[in-house]
Structure 1
């Protein structure tokens, strides 16, 4: 059974058929999903979903581009919610210089604050890093993030950066981008890395794999990613599913 470690099923793209879709996942070989907050609002949505759906776990946190809204009251709320047994990580948190808003100092301040929060509540982290490779890594090393563990979500850097994170004990989140024609660098990373540190993710409704690129993504598309990993790693699809499922449960400390 497949474990989708990063999804946004509270997104309005799923308004019409959310319940039906989430209830159907098990019959399509998807055992569990982690719904990931990207703001206080979407973290609130996630808290509702984990109570409503048995196969949904939650991560709560504020995405770098949403950190202008964050304050200590928000941090206190995140801290209170993190004791829920189905909250498995703090995330997604990090740096995003692609959109470059709010300013970089604001992003860094709240990235560090949320890393501290993860330490306070003893949860792994989900890292979002876009066009901010050096600053992300520097902050994570300074904050001894390897002691927290977690995942570099939607990994998009090269082998050298992969090596840094793998050596720190982090997992790399791999999704639909792996199937794109222009994903040469990512294919090299997947070939290079140990499969014991790879987890599957969709980031749905975004980043649907080929042949559904550009359409709404869902966990049902992970079979295409599994197939691509199987061919790159030269192991069976069953093996990919089994190992990545174990990895996800280890990463999120799910018994």
Structure 2
């Protein structure tokens, strides 16, 4: 079995006691790469430490998460630029996007921050990893001018409609990230996935969040990407091995690692 977790926050304190065991369990189910999205300036050091400890297995991104956008956003963006200019090998700009679930206080700032980071992705030839919560139309409006550019990336934790999936796929360089939500009883994702080519799907966990069935309610970890794989295999009526291979190849392509 070949699996890739394209979105995992294993550097958070939830894993401070047992990260080696978490990594071992991921390896045991066939996970070959774990991609780690940054949140803000407070998480850079711990994320890089985790990636250094598992170099060649865990890969860091750099970016400013929309829920960390506030009046200090310019200082935070200065730090993102500093990191991009450093000798660090960041594999993507993420996670970035917009989140209007809690409130819309910094809606305008979130749009500015997203657009700025999309520009850096093009400048540094890196993919973007997009976070979207109650903000699809706003994000689409920011991204639309880049439709004919080299922009590529992952629309992470997709829970949208068939129409929204079609709008994402107007961007030829984008893939859609599917995680444990697809296993939830009331999820409409199984119907939506049938309209999306498997070649446009990547798998993720969003650990420690969104744990798939049968472990829902517990801390999520990268090994649980296998539970998402099993559900996706069932939806596409393909073997888990085939889906694992295709989605892994898709992921490596997005991150520019396909050999």
Task: Place the TM-score, normalised by the shorter chain, in its bin.
Answer: over 0.9
Q: Residues of 2 paired with 1:17 and 1:134: CA distance?
A: 39
The answer for the alignment partner of 1:48 in structure 2 is: 49
Alpha-carbon shift at residue 74 of structure 1 (Å): 3.3
The structure whose RCO (Cα within 8 Å, separation 6+) is larger is 2
- CA deviation map 1:30-50 (0-9, x unaligned): 111001111122233222222
SS in 2 for 1:68: coil
The structure with the largest helix share of the pair is 1
Q: 2:222 aligns with which of 214, 219, 230?
A: 219
TM-score (norm 1): 0.93
Alpha-carbon shift at residue 137 of structure 1 (Å): 0.5
Contact 2:3–2:248 (CA under 8 A) maintained in structure 1: yes
- Count of aligned residue pairs for this structure pair: 254
Q: Residues of 2 paired with 1:201 and 1:42: CA distance?
A: 20
Q: Is structure 2 residue 17 aligned with structure 1 residue 13?
A: no
Contact 1:6–1:33 (CA under 8 A) maintained in structure 2: yes
Q: Residues of 2 paired with 1:122 and 1:44: CA distance?
A: 23
Moved over 6 A (4+): none
Contact 2:9–2:206 (CA under 8 A) maintained in structure 1: yes
Q: How does 1:1-255 map to 2 (within 5 A)?
A: 1-54=2-55, 55-68=57-70, 70-82=72-84, 84=87, 86-100=89-103, 102-144=105-147, 147-169=150-172, 170-184=174-188, 186-254=189-257, 255=259
- CA gap of 1:86–1:222, structure 2 versus 1, over 3 A, is same
Contact 1:112–1:143 (CA under 8 A) maintained in structure 2: no
Q: Residues of 1 paired with 2:72 and 2:60: CA distance?
A: 19
Contact 1:198–1:244 (CA under 8 A) maintained in structure 2: yes
Q: Residues of 2 paired with 1:58 and 1:237: CA distance?
A: 27
- CA deviation map 1:152-184 (0-9, x unaligned): 000011000101111212100000000001112
Root-mean-square deviation (Å): 1.8
Q: Residues of 1 paired with 2:134 and 2:25: CA distance?
A: 36
Contact 1:115–1:145 (CA under 8 A) maintained in structure 2: no
- CA gap of 1:123–1:230, structure 2 versus 1, over 3 A, is same
- Structure 2 unaligned segments of length 5 or more: list them: none
Alpha-carbon shift at residue 24 of structure 1 (Å): 4.2
- CA deviation map 1:83-131 (0-9, x unaligned): 6564111011111110125421111111111112212211110001111
Alpha-carbon shift at residue 209 of structure 1 (Å): 0.4
Q: Residues of 2 paired with 1:223 and 1:105: CA distance?
A: 38
TM-score (norm 2): 0.92
- Structure 1 unaligned segments of length 5 or more: list them: none
